Amino acid sequence: MADKKVTLSVVLISWNQLDFLRRLVRQMLDQDYDPADYEVIIVDDGSADGTQEWLQEQADPRLVILLSKDMCGRSTSRNRGILKARGKIIVMLDGDHTVNRDFLSIHAARHRETLCAIVGKSDFADHPDFVALNHYLNNGGAVKLPQDAPLPGRYFLTRNCSVPKEILLKVGLFDDRYHVWGGEDLDIGAKIEDAGVPIYGESNALAVHHHLRPLHDLLVNLYEYGRLGVPYVLDRHPRMFRELNLDRLLPNPFEGDRFSNLRRLLHRLFMLFPFYVCIKFIANLFRRHKLPRWIFDYLHLRQYGFGYIASLKSNKTSADKDGNTY
């Protein structure tokens, strides 16, 4: 099998997800797709929970195991898997998902129709304490558009997607500057969009996400994404300033403003700590019920927006210090 070409290469990344990974690997090896026509490349990013030892015991010839001693990050891990892949189509998954037996068949069928990138449906698993947040997350992105409508690059999700390898190589793979949560999906999606490759959603290719993150942890991650990830996004894709709605908070340095200074001031005031605490309290209090989308839209923008503002202040401080040395 080592020299045989395959159609699909599943690049599956994992970090300290042993229990999830065991289940997902079983499901990937039990697909209704031709076993001789796909491989599963598992890239473990320095796990310390027994994952690497378990992976070394697996003997199925379809499995390709890539282990890292130290944590390298999601972008570097995906790039390692893509470069190792022998398949024409790269299917990407995270190790904390579960899939149905027809998962690979559905992805493969879409690529027989046209040259494109596919974003599968990635739902967070049901849990009584995450009803509000999961309802918001499960009904955003590609779900908001008709299935046959091309998706904007910002809707690209690498935890369930498929892309021809030639396209990923053409756009330069993942940017390994992204070491914190968030940003690498948006960046690669925008690069695929810029390359003129259509991106489509495929709701039948379902992967269920079992890593449920409490609202507090998500908001911390969003702030760090704004502080450390968004500057890289804007460096390569200036149009994302508007698409991320940052022009609601700051003047747009890349194109004409949609909002007046007064409206931006009002937006910024509404994002201040007292309002933020109240909205966050409501989201937590009613976490077992479905809530209006604007609540989580607000919390998302507030956190990554203020994270980005913090990065601008940090850069200005550094520039001032550098200027004082001359």
Please report the pLDDT score of residue 326 as a whole number.
Answer: 29
Residue 323: pLDDT band with limits 50, 70, 90: very low
pLDDT in tens, 188-240: 999 999 999 999 999 999 999 999 999 999 999 999 999 999 999 999 999 99
Please report the pLDDT score of residue 181 as a whole number.
Answer: 85
Cα–Cα distance between 165 and 178 in angstroms, integer?
21
Residue spans per domain, the chain: 8-209, 215-319
Q: What is the mean pLDDT of the chain?
A: 94
The residue behind tokens 């704004």 is 226
Task: Name the pTM for this structure.
Answer: 0.93
The answer on pLDDT for 324 being more than 70 is no
pLDDT in tens, 253-307: 999 999 999 999 999 999 999 999 999 999 999 999 999 999 999 999 999 999 9
pLDDT in tens, 77-123: 999 999 999 999 999 999 999 999 999 999 999 999 899 999 999 99
Which CATH code fits 8-209? Answer: 3.90.550.10
Tell me how far CA of residue 233 lies from CA of 113, 129, 182, in angstroms. Answer: 31, 32, 10
Please report the pLDDT score of residue 71 as a whole number.
Answer: 87
Please report the pLDDT score of residue 321 as a whole number.
Answer: 52
pLDDT in tens, 174-190: 999 998 888 999 999 99
Positive or negative, the CA dihedral 274, 279, 282, 287 is negative
Query: Which parts of the chain are beta strand (E)?
Result: 8-14, 38-45, 63-68, 89-94, 97-99, 117-124, 160-164, 199-209
Q: 8-14 and 160-164: which strand pairing?
A: unpaired
